[in-house]
Amino acid sequence: MQELLDKRIVLGLSGGIACYKSAELVRRLVEQGATVDVVMTDAATHFITAVTMQALSGRPVFIDAWDPRIPNNMAHIDLSRGADAILIAPASADFMAKLVQGRADDLLSTLCLARACPLLVAPAMNREMWSAAPTQRNVSQLAQDGVKVLGPGSGQQACGETGDGRMLEPLQLLAEMVAFFQPKLLKNKRVLITAGPTVEPIDPVRVITNRSSGKTGYALARAAFEAGAQVTLISGPTALPEPYGIPCIQVQTAQQMHDAVLAHVKEQDVFISVAAVADWRVANVASDKIKKDPKAKTTHSPNLEFALNPDILATVAALPNAPWCVGFAAETERLSEYAHDKRKRKGIPMLIGNLAQHVMDADHTTVSIFDEQGEHPLPTSAKQDIARQLIAAIAKRLPGNA
Ligand code: CTP
């Protein structure tokens, strides 16, 4: 699924060593279906060549305000008029100062001033330049002027120092751009999500777990973040990278997930329980590795005793001032019947159900929404696409959400 299909982005590069990351960025934007016009300041051409940016964007690169390739000689107007957004990455301290002052002494600054589309900037500079009072004044002025400031990140800098001021990584900027174009259906809402499996120890080297890749839960966390929510993700062990921009608490057992959820549930507007929580844990966990009996001739199996784990979703739904709760149910048969029953039994307004054998580990999924009105099937689609549809369905049903 291309996430930026039909989007036209002007990618502006001002002078800074982070220009090398913009080569990867343009590649990622194009990969996701965007048409990218690259505009560079003269300073940027000292860090990366126009040829590189042209090869990666597949389009002519503009530097000079007097470029004779534009028939009416109005590159500053023509380039920005067709654009859905202008992204300046890297945005140097000097270029941000220029934007604040409304100066227009080269092509990139002129087209920013003449724009009729949103402007986003990804600052990149030395930590002292970033924390300097004039830069901080300029950053807050840009935000007041409606410019979206992305980052910066923190860490090792090209100059050898460590601190704030690194340009966000290309994949982080891509995530920001994709999020930028999504409707803000959950703006300022707080959303708590559980994802992945839980693992329950048998002994120090063995566990019992549920099959869950975590993909659906992570996709929902991303979709809620894109919709403008403040998201907290509580995850059992998965092979997935922690999603950008979302605080993620890693847990192992159902009890740990339960405790983490209860510690974070206060003041949440929505709780989405996607995790495949193990229903039982081993009650007699061995403190040492359970050994096979070498003398036993027949198969010798240990006696495991089980204890019921807390039902996290039902516990949250029963809290006074409970958030609006959404459950998930992966069944292997009689989906409608089980899903309706489960929703009522857990005391929740909405449950998403699917047939486990069709979607386990896959990137696509087929789900139905179950609520008071009945069953609402969604067409099979990529998990990220389904996640966005589910977030829209939650936003529509959430009481008091405009
Ligand atoms: N769930 C939970 N805590 C548990 C078990 C399940 O929070 N101990 C949540 C899941 O995250 C999911 C929903 O409850 O949102 C349904 O999970 P499921 O395992 O299908 O339901 P169970 O109540 O365990 O029913 P059963 O296993 O009998 O189908």
CA distances from 348 to 45, 325, 332 (A): 57, 6, 22
CA 268-269-275 angle, 5° bins: 70
Q: Which domain holds residue 138?
A: 8-180
Q: Which of 233, 262, 313 to mutate to test the pocket of ligand 1 (most atoms within 8 A of CB)?
A: 313
* Total-model pTM: 0.92
pLDDT tens digit string along 73-107? 777 788 888 899 999 999 999 999 999 999 999 99
Atom 8 (ligand 1) nearest CA: 311
Distance from residue 268's CA to the centre of ligand 1 (Å): 20
What is the CATH classification number for the domain harbouring 71? 3.40.50.1950
Distance from residue 261's CA to the centre of ligand 1 (Å): 15
The CA distance from 112 to 114, in Å, is 5
Atom 17 (ligand 1) nearest CA: 329
- Segment (H or E) for 79: helix 75-81
Encoded tokens for 373? 């009105």
Return the sign of the alpha-carbon dihedral for residues 137, 143, 145, 147: positive
Clarify whether residues 109 and 172 are in a common domain: yes
In this prediction, residue 191 carries a pLDDT of: 98
Catalytic residue among 117, 159, 248, 325: 159
SS (H, E, C) 187-202: CCCEEEEEECECEEEE
In this prediction, residue 278 carries a pLDDT of: 97
Residue at 283 is within a domain: yes
Q: Which of 180, 203, 233 is the last residue of a domain?
A: 180
Clarify whether residues 197 and 123 are in a common domain: no
> How many domains does the structure of the chain reveal?
2
Clarify whether residues 204 and 349 are in a common domain: yes
- Cβ(119)–Cβ(132) below 8 Å: no
Atom of ligand 1 nearest to the CA of 338: 29
- Binning the chain into helix, strand and coil, the percentages to the nearest 5 are 35, 25, 40
Name the band, by pLDDT with cuts 50, 70 and 90, for residue 296. low
The CA distance from 341 to 178, in Å, is 37
Our measurement of the distance from residue 350's CA atom to the centroid of its chain's CA atoms, rounded to an integer in Å, reads: 23
Distance from residue 176's CA to the centre of ligand 1 (Å): 33
pLDDT tens digit string along 31-70? 999 999 999 999 999 999 999 999 999 999 999 988 888 7
What value does the mean pLDDT of the chain take?
Answer: 94
Distance from residue 311's CA to the centre of ligand 1 (Å): 7
Query: 159 catalytic, yes or no?
Result: yes
Atom of ligand 1 nearest to the CA of 329: 20
